Chain A
């Protein structure tokens, strides 16, 4: 088979998996949040509400796609696709398992972690352009906030990942995972792990850092004006980003497809997906627990707490590695 055909087939399979897991991540979120708030969660469509995502999708597709008269015609329509594109293209390089047949990923980039950072850093454009192009004040405020928030926390995230790169000695994702065969990196790089988890929540605009949406003050933030399918695209992008940061967390800190305690009776990909699911659960759990940050505290936390900690972590890690030889 020609290379492009293989890549195409792999992409189609992965796209299907990611979209399905998005749909059920959303359902899981509503269910788990419901349970934590002493409700049963959606349970009307299909058994245990399992068809709820399909119903949601149908609703979003059938809804009217409105654009305010003051909106910028081109960018308003483009922005959701920017979000979606950046959210999905990360999966081009995420490896799921390594077997004798090779790495289970679409493409294997050696500068994998850098590619991840590069693509996720482009994700902010969807939000900021969408907010600006809506031509009304709440989306604009939401998008300006998101821009400031995302570039602030990106620094901390990059530095947290730098610690891992130093320990692993490589930037390729499967290299990092195979470097964790004996010891998962969340132990030697615990500080980086904590910083990463916090910044990842901020990067995906989730509670308690969801100031981008902040219903209480900004109506719905950057997607106030969006409706129907275009809103759905932003929605998908948010959940896919959640999945992405969960994947990165389990690849970089929790040994990816390495089985814990040598329990290899489950295939590596199952372990990997279990870890990702655990992180997703943690996200939902946080959302059901914590209130939203105030904006100035968010910024102060990012710049005055997380960034120095992450920098210190990189310096200490580098010194230790240099001393070890």
Chain B
């Protein structure tokens, strides 16, 4: 019987055993991640960042192009007119609210491509685990490069691999010190994102 032929195939079993034994002494490709970090590809798609101009103005002009380009409907932009005395961006408008739901995001980089001012870029940061779903909705307070944090680097200008400071935002704010006042915005925007998702 065919079954018995296969059962008696001791040779195959021995071959399998020899392979596993060989593998046991083989070099392990594992990188001991938290203590040893691998070099990323220079254009690795990780957490987003909203860049600034050299003079500290926000690049984002609240045009919502990124939001419409996003295949995952992860971006919510609410633009507003710049007040004459207090210009947030060089253009007419700026993003009054800018939120990205990083749980919806598929890190495709379409937003980056769509942005006319190179405001939104993807940094190589990827460690954004948290115990609360709500904290994955990144608002401007965490996306925008801090005023004293330089301008942020678009992928094309990165010298290669992870920048030493892991991107401007990372140095200033960890995902854990989300801070108060955050939850108030996320409830509303979550609902909005969902509504948007439903109506298309």
Whether chain A touches chain B in the assembled complex (some CB pair under 8 Å)? yes
Q: What is the CB-to-nearest-CB distance from B197 to chain A, in angstroms, rounded to a whole number?
A: 33
- CB closest residue in chain A, given B8: A305
Given contacts A290-B16, A297-B3, A297-B7, contact A40 B30 (CB under 8 A): yes
B23 touches A38 (CB 8 A): yes
B7 touches A36 (CB 8 A): no
User: Is the C-beta of B24 less than 8 angstroms from some C-beta in chain A?
Assistant: yes
User: Is the C-beta of A103 less than 8 angstroms from some C-beta in chain B?
Assistant: no
A285 touches B21 (CB 8 A): yes
User: Is the C-beta of B17 less than 8 angstroms from some C-beta in chain A?
Assistant: yes
- CB closest residue in chain A, given B6: A297
List residues of chain A with CB within 8 A of the CB of B30. 38-40
List residues of chain B with CB within 8 A of the CB of A305. 4, 7
User: Is the C-beta of A286 less than 8 angstroms from some C-beta in chain B?
Assistant: yes
**A37 CA to B19 CA in the complex, in Å?**
10
**A288 CA to B20 CA in the complex, in Å?**
7
B17 touches A301 (CB 8 A): no
Main SS of chain A's interface residues? helix
User: Is the C-beta of B11 less than 8 angstroms from some C-beta in chain A?
Assistant: no
B24 interface neighbour in A35, A290, A297, Cβ under 8 Å: A35
Mask, B8-39, CB within 8 Å of A = 1, is 00000100110111011110111010000000
User: Is the C-beta of A300 less than 8 angstroms from some C-beta in chain B?
Assistant: yes
List residues of chain B with CB within 8 A of the CB of A32. 24
**A286 CA to B7 CA in the complex, in Å?**
15
Chain B: interface residue count, which band?
Answer: 10 to 19
A35 touches B3 (CB 8 A): no
**A39 CA to B24 CA in the complex, in Å?**
9
**A288 CA to B13 CA in the complex, in Å?**
12
A40 interface neighbour in B16, B19, B28, Cβ under 8 Å: B28
B3 touches A38 (CB 8 A): no
B23 interface neighbour in A37, A40, A43, A290, Cβ under 8 Å: A37
List residues of chain A with CB within 8 A of the CB of B7. 297, 301, 305
B3 touches A36 (CB 8 A): no
A289 touches B17 (CB 8 A): yes
List residues of chain B with CB within 8 A of the CB of A35. 23-25, 28
- Quick one: which of B17, B20, B26, B28 has the most chain A CB within 10 A? B20
**A36 CA to B19 CA in the complex, in Å?**
9
Q: Name the interface residues of A283-313: CB closer than 8 Å to any CB of B.
A: 285-286, 288-290, 297, 300-301, 305
20 pairs, A vs B, C-beta closer than 8 Å: A32-B24, A35-B24, A36-B20, A36-B24, A38-B23, A38-B26, A39-B30, A43-B32, A285-B17, A286-B17, A288-B20, A289-B13, A289-B16, A289-B17, A289-B20, A290-B13, A297-B3, A297-B7, A300-B3, A301-B7
